[in-house]
Amino acid sequence: MENKTPVTLIKIGGNIIDNPTELSQFLSDFSKIEGYKILVHGGGKSATKMAESIGLVPQIIDGRRITDAAMLDVVVMIYAGQINKNIVAQLQANSTNAMGFSGADGNLIQSDKRNHPTINYGFVGDVKKVNTQLLETLLSNGIVPVFCAITHDGKGQLLNTNADTIASELAIALSEVFDVTLNYCFEKPGVLFDAEDDSSVIENINQELYSKLKAEKAIHSGMIPKLDNCFNSLTKGVQKIKIGHHRMLQDMTALYTTITL
């Protein structure tokens, strides 16, 4: 079996983005990772704050943002503009040659507009296709891609797309060519038995334990789509998945959760 080149793919959560000190430390840690790497980021609270400042009322159902035309303008401006370019600039300051992308750039991620039987999500996309060939070219030329949570439908329409899912779909697509490790970094040290106790990290979670904890409602809300994405990725070729605080990237003693089948 041929050895594939390793790729580290990291998705950072909004709570890191919302905290300038945490973000600065994370980007410093991320810059120290050797080899090919990709960063995916969400939007934090900035889009909600901007929307409210111009009189829009954000709607979220089951952790997913409803995106009408006015809200789409806001999330494109904040995600693909302010946040993405701020991250790219800070990575350049850390001697990491980053380049910021939406899914529309280079046709890197194409999505279908979500079609739900009962909920109109508006301009929300579900990933359909990843341009692995262009990603390979970027990585092999020393570029570190930084993806925001915006994709497109190939017909001129931008779509708001869940960043956890983008990270998962990128990891799956790249796993055909690379040995991919997917890391979900957020403000907690991992998946917890008790959401109020940061020391209750589940160091390894498989599908059987996940089903049990979900049934007991020990795992709920935003962690469910994140873990669903993890298990989907593992069944489709991704080699290794970790969830935890970003300190796990450089601190060998840090706790985190490993996801296994």
> Positive or negative CA dihedral for 92, 98, 103, 104?
positive
CA distances from 128 to 110, 113, 160, 236, 249 (A): 6, 10, 14, 15, 30
160 among the known binding-site residues? Answer: yes
SS3 content of the chain, % helix, strand, coil (to 5): 40, 25, 35
Separation between Cα atoms, residue 27 and residue 96, nearest integer Å: 9
Q: What is the DSSP string of 121-136?
A: -BSBEEEEEE-HHHHH
Closest CA to 33 of 96, 99, 89, 85: 96
Cβ-contact 152, 102 below 8 angstroms: yes
- Which residues fall within 8 angstroms of residue 204, CB to CB, at 6 or more apart? 257, 258, 260
d(CA 247, CA 255): 9
User: What are the residues whose beta carbons fall under 8 Å from the beta carbon of 179, sequence distance 6 or more?
Assistant: 3, 4, 5, 6, 7, 239
Is 142 annotated in a binding site? The answer is no
Nearest alpha carbon to residue 28 among 249, 254, 252: 249
141 assigned to a ligand binding site: no
The SS3 assignment for 162 reads coil
Per the annotation, does 43 bind a ligand?
A: yes
Sequence ranges of the binding site:
43-44, 65, 160
Sequence ranges of the binding site for substrate:
43-44, 65, 160
